[in-house]
Amino acid sequence: MKLFSDNIEDLRTLYIANLKKALDMEQNITKALPTMIEKSTDTQLATAFRDHLEQTRGHVTKVESLLRAATGEADTATCKVISALVTEAEDSIKDAGDASIRDITLIASAQQVEHHEMAVYGTLRSWAELLGEDQAADTLESILDEEKKADELLTSISDSVNTASVIPAGNTGVNANRVNTPRTQTDAYVNR
Ligand SMILES: [Fe+2]
């Protein structure tokens, strides 16, 4: 009786291929974040992006070491998704006239990236577990946790940035009450 199915080697190949894409993704994010920091007018948002740039550099290092341990090299493979998301972000920034609308756009774009990263690392972590790569699974879990926290921070920043951009200061009317009312998970439609 075979101890492992033949598919385990196919899964290992898939795992390595997707680690290479994750490295390309992280490298692209380190290139995109400086522009996002520069374009942010909200200081909390700029600080969040600055902190995440440091974390992202750490993700590059961690994924490189996982690849070196698995293959002896830290090669990349093109992540088409991140290129598309960065292009979308650049277009949205160009289209946003007002500074506060640009901040909203930056948060939306960053959260699209975070959600993609969460899907990537959640999958890689599960595959590492299936392959019996427990240390790699722990490393991938630690990256996933940082992506989740970055996403949650952006959601919390969006609560003030979104409100400030659409409700003039001092407005206590119907719209102000609606926007300022804490949302539940089920009725939220932005930044969740
Ligand atoms: Fe990351």
- Given a cut of 50, whether residue 24 has pLDDT beyond it is yes
Ligand 1 centroid to residue 22 C-alpha, Å: 9
pLDDT value of residue 189: 41
> 126 is written with which tokens?
């599960």
Mean pLDDT of 19-24: 98
DSSP 72: S
Ligand 1 centroid to residue 187 C-alpha, Å: 28
Ligand 1 centroid to residue 117 C-alpha, Å: 6
Task: Specify the higher pLDDT residue, 4 or 129.
Answer: 129
Query: pTM, whole model, 2 decimals?
Result: 0.85
pLDDT value of residue 168: 63
Ligand 1 centroid to residue 162 C-alpha, Å: 24
Ligand 1 centroid to residue 94 C-alpha, Å: 24
Ligand 1 centroid to residue 146 C-alpha, Å: 8
Question: Whole-angstrom Cα distance, residue 93 to residue 2?
Answer: 55
- Given a cut of 50, whether residue 186 has pLDDT beyond it is no
Task: Specify the higher pLDDT residue, 180 or 166.
Answer: 166
User: Could you give the count of Cα atoms lying within 13 Å of 126 in the half-sphere of its Cβ?
Assistant: 5
Question: Whole-angstrom Cα distance, residue 45 to residue 99?
Answer: 13
Question: Whole-angstrom Cα distance, residue 110 to residue 10?
Answer: 33
pLDDT value of residue 81: 98
Residues 6 or more apart whose CB falls under 8 angstroms from that of 157 comprise 42, 44, 45, 48, 107
Ligand 1 centroid to residue 140 C-alpha, Å: 10
Question: Whole-angstrom Cα distance, residue 62 to residue 143?
Answer: 8
pLDDT mean across residues, the chain: 88
Ligand 1 centroid to residue 31 C-alpha, Å: 12
192: pLDDT confidence band, cut at 50, 70 and 90? very low
97: pLDDT confidence band, cut at 50, 70 and 90? confident
The one-letter amino acid code at 160 reads S
